[in-house]
């Protein structure tokens, strides 16, 4: 589990194809520079969220670590198939503060940035989300965008999906890769855990 509070920005330095269980369907190994993220308490097999996707550490040589990403994970996420800056967070410990909200690190879908507009010192971010995720978003609800826990300020249902509006304060922009977004950028999305389970329970009641 994670909190959606980014601990540091790192950098995917290399993306190397590796063999996977399905012949002819390779995954990749990512070599990541951890930036300011301390790795002294990270062991092989531990989990680190990379842009919101939970990954298992398979190699470590500070300040670098490596993770293997399956073809399925590549298909369901954005930004893990190429070098570049990424948001990093180590797995939550029971003694940690929960500054964001409970996050599983399982990406539910990929959204597209439709608007970035300055509003005072903050930035208005709008994301078009997949239609299948629309039922999980609510005004003042939580969403994870590229590993960052954020509050939804507006929800608009559209024929092509659901557009959510989020306010990004300067601190969030400074400390995360959201500062690099532009219209058309693809972002990883994780819906709120409670919304997911509530929807499942309600769907069973209606059967």
Domain assignment of residue 56, given as a range: 8-90
The whole-number pLDDT of residue 201 equals 85
**Total domain count for the chain?**
2
Q: Which residues contact 205 (CB under 8 A, 6 or more apart)?
A: none
The whole-number pLDDT of residue 24 equals 60
Among residues 58, 90, 122, the one where a domain terminates is 90
The whole-number pLDDT of residue 20 equals 64
Locate tokens 């939550």: which residue? Answer: 92
Residue 95 lies in a domain: no
- Chain centroid to CA 125: how far? 15
What is 74-105 written as a DSSP string? HHH-SSSSS-EEEEEEEPPPTTS--SS--B--
Give yes or no for residue 206 having a pLDDT over 80: no
Question: Phi and psi dihedrals of 16, rounded to 5?
Answer: -115, 125
Query: SS3 letters for 3-61?
Result: CCCCCEEEEEEEEEEECCCCCCCCEEEEEEECCCCCCCCCCCCCEEEECCEEEEEEEEE
- Strand pairing partners for 157? 162
The model's pLDDT over 4-43, given as tens digits with 9 standing for 90+, comes to 999 999 999 999 999 765 566 689 999 999 999 999 999 9
Q: Which residues contact 57 (CB under 8 A, 6 or more apart)?
A: 42, 43, 44, 45, 46, 47, 48, 65, 66, 67
Give yes or no for residue 91 having a pLDDT over 90: yes
Q: Are residues 83 and 114 in the same domain?
A: no
Q: Are residues 114 and 187 in the same domain?
A: yes
The predicted model gives 124-150 an average pLDDT of: 97
Give yes or no for residue 53 having a pLDDT over 90: yes
Q: Are residues 28 and 59 in the same domain?
A: yes
CATH code, 51: 2.40.30.20
């Amino acid at each position: 589990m994670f909190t959606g509070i980014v601990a540091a920005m790192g950098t995917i330095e290399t993306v190397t194809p590796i063999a996977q269980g399905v012949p002819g369907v390779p995954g990749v190994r990512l070599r990541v520079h951890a930036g300011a993220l301390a790795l002294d308490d990270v062991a092989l097999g531990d989990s680190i969220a990379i842009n919101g996707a939970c990954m298992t550490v398979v190699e470590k040589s500070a300040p670098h670590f490596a993770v293997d990403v399956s073809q399925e994970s590549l298909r369901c996420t954005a930004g893990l198939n190429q070098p570049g800056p990424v948001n990093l967070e180590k797995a939550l410990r029971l003694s940690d503060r929960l500054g964001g909200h409970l996050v599983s690190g399982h990406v539910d879908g990929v959204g597209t940035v439709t608007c970035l507009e300055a509003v005072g010192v903050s930035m208005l971010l709008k994301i078009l989300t997949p239609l299948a995720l629309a039922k999980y978003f609510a005004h003042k609800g939580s969403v994870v965008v590229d590993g960052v826990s954020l509050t939804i300020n507006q929800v608009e249902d559209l024929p092509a999906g659901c557009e959510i509006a989020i306010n990004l304060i300067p601190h969030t922009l400074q400390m995360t890769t959201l500062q690099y977004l532009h219209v058309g950028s693809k972002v990883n999305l994780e819906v709120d855990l409670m919304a997911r389970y509530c929807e499942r329970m309600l769907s069973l009641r209606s059967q």
